[in-house]
Structures are given as C-alpha cells and as structure tokens.
Amino acid sequence: MASPQIDVDEIVETLEQIRQRGHSAHTVFQDWVNLMLFALQRRDDPYLEIVDDYRTRGDMDHPEGKRSVDLFSKAFGQLQERMVATDADVLGAAYEEYGMSSDAFGQHFTPHTVCEMMAEIAGVAGESETHGRQTVLDPACGSGRMLLVAGRKQPDALFFGQDKDPLCARMTALNCCFLNLDAYVIQGDSLTVEFQQAWQTSYSALGGSVRELDEEEVSELREWVTDAFENTVEDGTQSRATERAGSEDRTTPVTASVPSEQASLGAFESSD
Ligand SMILES: C[S@@+](CC[C@H](N)C(=O)[O-])C[C@H]1O[C@@H](n2cnc3c(N)ncnc32)[C@H](O)[C@@H]1O
C-alpha cells in the first residue's frame, strides 16, 4: 500500500488503462520509468524502441490522446503535478500502490514522517563535521525517498543512492533529477560492492539533468566511492576512540561524510 498521505489514484488509473490492453503491470511501470529517464536524457533510440514495441502491438489503433504513449506522458504530467502539490516521493508511492514492491527484497518504503525524523537525527540540515560539503548516502535507497527528504533540507549536499533493484535505482535517479540535486545513483549490491549501472544527476539553475555513466565511469565511481568510504571508516574509528571516554557511541544511519576534496563533482569529471 502507498504512503497514506500521498494520493496516487490518478496516476495508477492512467497506468491501469495501459495494462488493460494486455501488458503486465511490471512491464507498464518499468516502461513508464524508462521512458521518463530516456526522455530526460534525450536518448531517442532506446525511447523509440519502447514506443515501437507498443506500436507493433496495435497502439496506433487508439485515437490520439488515448494511445499508450499518450497515456504514459499523461502519467508523467500527473506525477509532476502531484510532486509539486505534495512535496513528496510520489513515484515511490505509485510504485507501492501499483503493487510493484518485492517482498523478497524488502521493498517497503519508509513513511515520509520517519524519513524526516531520521534526517533530523542524522543532522542533515546542520553544519558538516568536516566543514566541507555534506554527503548523504542511502545504500539501500528504494525509490530514493530518504535522499529526497534530505535534499529538501540540504539541497547543496552531494547525494549517493544505491539499490540492487534496477527499477528502484532508476526511480531514485528520476527523483534526484526532479529535485535538482547533485547525486550519483548506483544500481548494484551494496553489500558485495557491485556497481552494475550508475547515473549522475546535476543541479542547474534551469532544473536538474540526468545522464547514465559509461562502463569506465562506473568503475571509476566505484573506486572513488570505495576509497572515500574507507577513509570515512578510518576517520570515524579514530575519532570514536578519542571520544569514547565519557560519551555514547552514536552512528548516523543516513549520512556519511567524505573528505571535502573528494566530495566534488569535479574530482570525478576530471578523470574523463
Ligand atoms: C526497505 S526498502 C528501503 C528503501 C528506502 N531506503 C526507504 O527508506 O524508503 C529496502 C531497499 O533495499 C534494497 N536492497 C536490499 N538489499 C540490498 C543490497 N544488498 N544492496 C542494495 N540494495 C538492497 C531493496 O531493493 C529495497 O529497495
């Protein structure tokens, strides 16, 4: 069930009209997410491949405005409207309401109020301990809801999301782009540190952009993130050892600080 405060009925109804033409719910939702992601990247070829697939299945027989491609873009408009109206992770709520969640992967997203509280506890809106740019990491990001809430509190931070489910990783990339955040979103298992695909979203005054990284960039990103994480763990171990006398050991569930010189998009881009 979707988060109760987010009304996604209109979106689900629109997607449902496509499903009733003989497609599986998973195919419809996945195609919708991919169409949005390809459109935002201006990647015509993979976009048209999906459109052609519907066309060969008789999509042009429907009147204009009622073809599946029209309904996909209508759902995109409805998503944008709901995001503006609710300030929330509407895409993730639609995913849950449309029955996409996998119990095996534990795909039940955190209610917004709990995300808010966790971001507060993790000190996302506060001063960075390293006095550099804050970094916010969710290694099992689902639709990217935690990052979204953190991004509203601290839009200048650098965000990292990882999920082993390709559809979840794509939803996070879309959400980070919609919110105009600087982010890296990785598809892969965060326990075994596998990076299969990755997207970079970038802030701009005119609105966010998104691009998929190529294979070489993905492996460079993996190296960079692994080094940064190891440095953070080492720093954390040292500072905890000195703080242990008299104070409680606290861990931050959502944020991890990366040394500021590494936490810049330039560090990655310059290795092209
Ligand atoms: C309970 S959901 C939480 C999503 C999000 N963090 C939130 O709070 O709304 C857990 C997510 O972790 C992902 N996941 C499970 N095991 C994982 C792994 N080893 N590596 C990366 N992601 C994983 C699942 O696909 C699922 O989307």
Nearest-CA residue for atom 24 of ligand 1: 105
pLDDT of residue 248: 37
pLDDT along the chain (272 residues), means of 10: 71 96 94 98 97 94 95 97 92 92 79 91 73 89 96 95 97 97 98 96 95 98 88 65 42 32 31 32
Residue 110 Cβ inside 6 Å of ligand 1? The answer reads yes
Task: Tell me how long the chain is.
Answer: 272
Instruction: Tokens for 17, please give them.
Output: 């009209």
CA of 20 to the centre of ligand 1 (A): 30
pLDDT of residue 232: 72
Rounded Cα gap, residues 11 and 117, in angstroms: 28
Of 149, 214, 152, 221, the C-alpha closest to 184 is: 221
Residue 161 Cβ inside 6 Å of ligand 1? The answer reads no
Residue 108 Cβ inside 6 Å of ligand 1? The answer reads yes
Whether 37 and 174 have beta carbons less than 8 Å apart is answered as yes
The C-alpha angle 38, 44, 49, rounded to 5 degrees, equals 85
Torsion angles phi and psi, residue 248, rounded to 5: -75, 150
C-alpha neighbours within 13 Å on the C-beta side of residue 53: 12
Whether 198 and 218 have beta carbons less than 8 Å apart is answered as yes
CA separation, residue 76 to residues 39, 87, 94, 188 (Å): 11, 16, 12, 26
Residue 170 Cβ inside 6 Å of ligand 1? The answer reads no
pTM over 0.95: no
Spatial neighbors of 152 by CB under 8 A, at least 6 apart, are 87, 179
Residue 134 Cβ inside 6 Å of ligand 1? The answer reads no
Residue 97 Cβ inside 6 Å of ligand 1? The answer reads no
Nearest-CA residue for atom 6 of ligand 1: 141
* Tokens 């489910």 found at: 165
The crossing angle, in degrees rounded to 10, of helices 90-97 and 25-40 is 160
Residue 3 Cβ inside 6 Å of ligand 1? The answer reads no
CA of 163 to the centre of ligand 1 (A): 6
pLDDT of residue 132: 78
Of 62, 49, 59, the C-alpha closest to 23 is: 59
